[in-house]
Amino acid sequence: MIKAKKAIRAILAFLYRHTYRHVKVKEKTVFFLSFHGRGYSDNPKAIYEYMRSCGEYANYRFIWALRDPKRKIEGAKVIRYNGPFYFYYLMRSQYWIVNCKLADYFLKKDDQIYLQTWHGTPLKKLAHDIDVSDDTTFYRTKMSKAQMQTTYDRDVAKYNYMISPNPFCTEVFQSAFRIDRARLIETGYPRNDFLSHFSEQDVLQMKRKLHLPTDKKVILYAPTWRDNSYRLSGYTFQLEVDFLKWKQVLGDSYIVLFKPHYLIVNTFDMSQVKDFVYEIDAKADIAPLYPLADLLITDYSSVFFDYAILKRPIYFYMYDIESYANELRGFYFDLYETLPGRIYTEEDLLLADIAGGVYEENRISAFHKRFHVHEDGWASKRVCDIVFKKEQTR
């Protein structure tokens, strides 16, 4: 089955490269893709929902590529990711709104506009900035360092615009992706707009939707994957926490939302901590969980960049920080100086500080001033004004 799918995709890619110039672009058609079709999420989702809410885009046609083509998205045509219509609408759409790399064989015509939204402010180094030896091979792709960087270079060459959420990313993206400053639009992240507009009623409704108790404090635990821990189907994660201990120390005042990174493929047994730990599907969009959480525990995931907008307590449980920092791909800044919270390597100390309400509020304020200068709830509008209105006047 896998070989058959690869063969079909190779045929479609061949046909694409030899026919794309002969398919006329349909004006005001917008193609959306998030995390290679894994879901309806992130910056593409936020931009889409903004456009749907504005009468000025009422005559636009919207296409969403998903791995589950049966999913309904109001106002959009949903097509199968990597299916025949996926290739067709990439040829046909005037605008591409994407938050991940496209395959090398997708070529863009001059009258098409490619907006790369990307998917987070990076803590770990990216692309040309990764600190590894030249003979390194990456994960399941078996790509060399040079091959990996070339895949970015080919995609970046097609961008008309790339969103930068803050001045830090404007500098980093130029280095990591070798993109010129003129194509970077420093607007803030559309996916964070809702963090400036949600209400307590929105929080209550989301808790009820997830069947969560409404009278307890919520801890969001969101760890990320490790580059050197994987199997054929994807990245794996060794859960280095004792949730029974968490329950004992924190008591009945808390519940935990455990949200693994979407690339993590292994499963976890939560039967012993039922009604204390609520596991969220790894592939679910994490953003709606932020307003529910009274505090965040994470490690090297970039989720803290977004969550910090709320100015709520953040704790960094980095039990493997020494090996992670020395053996993997490196960080963009000194963690101890810049992170909006304390780093913990011992679980007992982490739990004691949470139970005691101890956190470093001054670090959160300093972090907010540096990384959230554009997070005012109107990034989607700024992006659309640049990408759609500007292009219409050319």
Give me the domain span that covers residue 284: 200-371
pLDDT tens-digit readout, 305-342: 999 999 999 999 998 888 776 666 689 999 999 999 99
3-state SS, residue 84? helix
Residue 133 tokens read as 């030896």
Residues 357 and 381 both lie in one domain: no
Q: Where is 303: in which H helix or E strand? A: helix 303-307
Residues 352 and 385 both lie in one domain: no
Q: Where is 255: in which H helix or E strand? A: strand 254-258
pLDDT tens-digit readout, 90-143: 999 999 999 999 999 999 999 999 999 999 999 989 999 987 777 777 655 678
pLDDT tens-digit readout, 37-79: 999 999 999 999 999 999 999 999 999 999 999 999 999 999 9
Contact in structure between 111 and 103 (CB atoms under 8 Å): no
Instruction: Look up the CATH number of the domain holding residue 386.
Output: 3.40.50.11820
Residues 360 and 382 both lie in one domain: no
Buried b (16+ CB within 10 A) or exposed e, 32-69: bbbbbbbbbbbbbbbbbbbbeeeeebeebbbbbbbeeb
Residue 7: its pLDDT value, please? 83
Q: How far is CA 75 from the centre of its chain?
A: 23
| Cα 301 to Cα 306: distance, rounded to the nearest angstrom | 11
Q: State mean pLDDT over 389-393.
A: 64
Q: How many domains, in total, are found in the chain?
A: 2
Number of DSSP helices (H) and strands (E) in the chain, helices first: 14, 17
Residues 223 and 342 both lie in one domain: yes
Contact in structure between 83 and 37 (CB atoms under 8 Å): no
DSSP label of 318: -
The β-bridge relationship of strands 234-235 and 26-33 is unpaired
3-state SS, residue 172? helix
Residue 253: its pLDDT value, please? 94
pLDDT tens-digit readout, 246-299: 999 998 999 999 998 655 444 556 678 888 999 888 888 899 999 999 999 999
Residue 226: its pLDDT value, please? 54
Query: Could you please report the per-residue DSSP string of 126-143?
Result: -GGG----TT-EETTTTE
Residues 105 and 244 both lie in one domain: no
pLDDT tens-digit readout, 176-223: 999 999 999 999 999 999 999 999 999 999 999 999 999 999 999 998
- Examine the pLDDT at 158 and tell me if it is beyond 60: yes
The mean pLDDT value of the chain amounts to 90
Instruction: Look up the CATH number of the domain holding residue 244.
Output: 3.40.50.12580
Residue 378: its pLDDT value, please? 98
Residue 290: its pLDDT value, please? 97
Residues 180 and 101 both lie in one domain: yes
